[in-house]
Amino acid sequence: MADLLKEFEAYMAEDEHAYSTIGNLYYDTPTYQMIRESLEKPYFKEKLRVRTYDASPQADSQVFLEIKKKVRKVVYKRRIATELLTAEQYLAGECQLEDSQIKQEIEWICERYGGVQPMMYILLQPLLSKRLRKLQCADYH
């Protein structure tokens, strides 16, 4: 790994996010329908996730309920800021958020797929002092 990092170092540049931790909790169906459809490279695809920039998120940490859509090669992101506990409860159907267009889009995705649940957590951590990051991935269950 050290040799590989040394090789990449010439191609990496530090940016304003070089030290940020990013956590993504992806929601999908129990059969992974959303990711399976995404891997088929369709004209349109979408993902639903809870994103945080907190290295150790707590119940009251700020997170973003985020829809990531891709039409052809153009990516669109729509998100709502809330607390982690609120986001989890909302996606589990245990509470409501303030009404908004983005909230309606999230609900449409949940209905379209017949309900979603947390399926995959991906954590990006800073690696050295460069933009290249260490990727950790785990099945949520």
- For residue 31, how far is the Cα from the chain centroid? 18
Nearest to 110 by CA among 125, 129, 96: 96
pTM, 2 dp: 0.76
Q: Residue 72, by phi and psi: left (phi above 0), alpha (psi -120 to 50) or beta?
A: left
Q: Give the residue numbers spanning the domain of 24.
A: 17-139
Q: What is the pLDDT of residues 77-119, one digit of tens each?
A: 999 999 999 999 999 988 898 889 999 999 999 999 998 999 9
Instruction: Return the CATH number at 34.
Output: 3.20.100.30
Q: Classify residue 11: in a domain, yes or no.
A: no
